[in-house]
Structure 1
Amino acid sequence: MPNQWAPNPPKEPLKAHAHRYWLMGLTQPKILEALKDHFDTSTYGLGMTTFKGWMREWKFEGARKQGHTVESIHGPIQDIRVRFPTIGSQEIRRVLLNDMEIKVPKDLVLHYLRLTEPDAVRARRSNAKMVRRRFYSAGANHIWAVDQHDKWRRFGLFLHLATEPYSGALLWLVCWWSNSNPRLVTHQYIMTARRLGGIPLITQSDLGSENFGIANAHTSIRQHLDPSLRGTLQHKWMNKHNNIKPEIAWKQFRVRFAPGFELLFDEGLDKGWYDPGNTLQRLVFRFLAIPFLQRELDSYVYRHNTSARRANKHKSLPHGIPDRIFEHPEKFGGKDYKIPVSEEVLRAAELQWAPPDHPVFELVPPVFAEFISSVYAEMGSPTVEFESFWNIYLVMLTLAQQRLPFCPAVQAVLDMYVDAPDAGENNDIPLMAHENVAELGLNGIPAAHAIHEMQAPVAEGIEQVQAAPAPEDEDDDMDYYIEEEFIERDEELGEDVDGTARPEAIVYFSSDEE
């Protein structure tokens, strides 16, 4: 008699996917459901009993199975506190899970924090006033919103990020020695489009010459793919403080990530170890700090994109894990408006607007890179960590100073070197000439005449959005998403007394799919 059940799918190819969903904090039934996207369900079947056996074999255990106590989490949390001294219980759990694969119940972390830092728990409640903002998003890849961050200028470090507002995902968060050169921003856009295999309908940023490159590149690609868009700019400029989603992302960054690293780098400034005005010190610092920080930022982005935000019954944009929403918007009642783009087209845009051989993409000058890399190798190429950063820097600086008299070519570079943004480079890429900016509906919804067949669902909603009444009276047929943001006036993002971050947005919508 033939077996009535379908055979199990190959196990090993599913392990990496199961591990990713486990790190997202999904339950076993939800992991099993998500895994069905990764094998042919018409050929294979996978039952819960078999799957639980696989999870045990892979050591992907739940919080109860791991059985942690206040004593067992003390060491890991104290290690986390070195890097992230201000985060609350929810973010601590994310770091424990994603960085250490430690799964702990929320109540246990709260109990630990109330025992060890009761004053800090109470202080995390903020009474900051909020400024009300409203944001509209039609679906995944409708908008990519970008913004820069200059608050680490005193270290010679600059940051840039992009958000996908519908899902809440961070598309990139990068650190470099400049963020004012438009080629840098365009490079991140091209790399992200290459990774995702497509681009959004429109890009969005503050008005500034550093964003002319991404506006030009995106518009050029859109016009190449759809000649009827010629004469329109496929980029939306936002007035100061109205680029809402990146503003909120920076607020979260300032609270969750920045404080510990600012303390670290301020120590070097305060003790005289690092003077950004000294070219040798600046280049040694840059050689160590930027790759080290980028690893930490990549982990931060991963935690953000794989962790569900706090549930909010008023929220209009989908509840859930940003990566899951971004990858499968249809499972959350939404649509994906990504426009596929070939490598050939991306390469052409890259060569024009962000040529890879431009000096702005050099971490340090090539001659100095060869010199300092040999010094680093002589030290045994130690891994740069939070606790070891300044020790490695000081040893490397001492060795470099000892070698420098015997390396006239390197000394000549130091004598002549000026950062590319200040070296007479033409950083201001002019904005392409257009007959007019692409007509937009309310808050960035593309207008009907600029939307073609693949974007038709957005155009259908334009009149409804523009005429949308107050939340309690909204039309039940509205099929896109309105988010009301509350941006704090001060520099801190409030947290509840239990140590977890308060939601930074209150959102609403009415839909027949809600």
Structure 2
Amino acid sequence: MVYKSLTQIDPEGVEARLCHACVRRVYRVFGPNHIWACDGHNKLKKFGICVYGFIDAWSRKILGMFVHTTNNDPKHVGVYFLHLVSKIGGIPLKVTSDFGTETGHLGTYQMWLSARYAGITTEEAEQRMHFTKSTHNQKIEALWSQMMKQHNASIKHNIKKAIHEETYDPNDKVQKLLFLFIWIPVFQSSVDMWVDSYNQFKQHQDRHTALPTGCTADYCYSTPESEGTTDQLVRVPTREIESIIELDYPDLDSMFEHTPPWFHELASRILEDLGYELLEVRC
């Protein structure tokens, strides 16, 4: 609703604001929720598995990772952002991402909510969305490298092995649907566990960085006073976010289906008949 209304009333203005925000800037991070860095991870995309993630740039806490068959749909990325805002209770002072089509809804929400709840002008709110090259989005890029080594590499190896041994044929439509039906929720559950482990890992002390070290990301994020700073979150009422989601995404459930309804129904029934349960994970 918000995104559609703004683009209909002033499409050139929305585009100009997004483009204007594209200027690269040097910035410092002053505390949790000062900057959220976000990006998509495509190393498993050829298998049908895509990830979109958000990290707090100061504490390096992973705020959320979302698994689906796509990570370049602006509607999906917009919903991911709104779910995080609802869960955390507000928006960061700034969001940084690469300038792709998938960030259209996210950028609009960040600027609109900033103008509405941060007590700043529309022009000032434009600076709350920062676009840069993916390679310059260092916090999230470093995270993808770790995730690939610690989590994804073995899964990628097993998938390639199954293809090589011809126990799985990704070109067979039914096999591909079954793969997505099983692996999207399973992969999401596995990613969730990896995120928890990552956020609870105590980082090594590093005197060469101004960012907090020698503590877990969870601890740093939740107790900024231990580092002599404060939470930078801009509070946004949960009811506001729920209203935006309800109005802008009436097709929310169908948006996150990763197989056609007929296949999901059939596969679920077969699993039930076999006595298995498959946890369905949604954002």
Q: Does the TM-score normalized on the shorter chain lie above 0.5? A: yes
User: Equivalences for 1:48-447 in 2 at 5 Å?
Assistant: 136-226=28-118, 228-231=120-123, 232-233=125-126, 234-319=128-213, 320-357=215-252, 359-381=254-276
Distance 1:328 1:347 in 2: 27
Structure 1 Cα separation of the partners of residues 90 and 72 of structure 2: 25
Residues 354-382 of structure 1: CA deviation (Å, up to 9, x unaligned): 44536331132222221110011112115
SS of 2:252 mapped into structure 1? coil
Question: Distance in 1 between the 2:38 and 2:161 partners?
Answer: 31
Is residue 141–residue 200 contact of structure 1 (8 Å, CA) maintained in 2?
Answer: yes
Q: Tell me, in whole angstroms, the C-alpha distance in 1 between the residues paired with 2:27 and 2:138.
A: 7
Taking structure 1 as reference, are residues 353 and 310 closer, same or farther at Cα in structure 2, changes over 3 Å only?
Answer: farther
Unmatched 5+ stretches in structure 2: 1-25
User: How has the CA–CA distance of structure 1 residues 226 and 139 changed in structure 2, closer, same or farther, with 3 Å as cutoff?
Assistant: closer
What is the SS of the residue equivalent to 2:270?
A: helix
Is the alpha carbon distance of 1:139 and 1:239 closer, same or farther for their aligned partners in structure 2, counting shifts above 3 Å? same
Give the TM-score taking structure 1 as reference length.
0.47
Matches of 2:120 and 2:161, distance apart in 1 = 56
State how far apart, in whole Å, the 2-side matches of 1:268 and 1:283 are. 16
Distance 1:333 1:219 in 2: 28
Structure 2 CA distance for partners of 1:214 and 1:348, relative to 1, 3 Å: same
- For residues 159 and 194 of structure 2, the distance between their equivalents in structure 1, rounded to whole angstroms, comes to 18
Query: 1:221 touches 1:349 (CA, 8 Å); kept in 2?
Result: no
Report SS of the residue matched to 2:136.
coil
CA displacement, residues 140-185 of structure 1 (integer Å, 9 cap, x when unaligned): 1011110001111221111111110111100112221111111111
RMSD value over aligned CA atoms? 2.0
Report the CA distance shift for 1:323/1:355 in structure 2 as closer, same or farther (over 3 A).
farther
TM-score norm. by structure 2 comes to 0.82
Tell me the distance in 2 between the aligned counterparts of 1:318 and 1:193.
23
C-alpha distance after superposition, 1:245-279 (max 9, x if no partner)? 00100111121112111111112222233333333
Quote the Cα distance in structure 1 between the aligned partners of 2:116 and 2:171.
45
User: 1:342: Cα distance to partner?
Assistant: 1.0
C-alpha distance in 2 between matches for 1:138 and 1:355 = 37
Q: Distance in 2 between matches of 1:325 and 1:353?
A: 34
Report if aligned partners of 1:156, 1:276 keep a CA contact under 8 Å in 2: no
**1:193 deviation in Å?**
1.3
Q: Is the 8 A contact 1:217 1:353 kept in 2?
A: no
User: Cα distance 1:241–1:225, how it changes in 2: closer, same or farther (>3 A)?
Assistant: same
Change (3 A) 1:353 1:235: farther
Do the aligned residues in 2 keep the contact of 1:169 with 1:305 (CA within 8 Å)?
A: yes
CA distance in 1, matches of 2:277, 2:249: 33
Give the corresponding residue for 1:389: none
Q: Is the alpha carbon distance of 1:135 and 1:308 closer, same or farther for their aligned partners in structure 2, counting shifts above 3 Å?
A: farther
SS at match of 2:135: coil
The verdict on how the C-alpha distance between 1:242 and 1:146 changes in structure 2, with shifts beyond 3 A counting, is same
Q: Does structure 1 conserve the Cα–Cα contact (< 8 Å) formed by 2:117 and 2:235?
A: no
> Cα deviation per residue 1:448-472 (whole Å; 9 max; x = unaligned)?
xxxxxxxxxxxxxxxxxxxxxxxxx
Shift in CA distance, 217/277, structure 1 to aligned 2, threshold 3 Å: farther
Q: Contact 2:61–2:217 at 8 Å: present in 1 too?
A: yes
Deviation at 1:309, TM superposition (A): 1.0
- Judging by fraction of residues, say which structure has more helix: 2
- Give the distance between the partners of 1:354 and 1:241, measured in 2 at CA: 31
Alignment deviations for residues 182-219 of structure 1 (CA, whole Å, 9 cap, x no partner): 11111111111111111111111000000111101122
Aligned residue pair count: 251
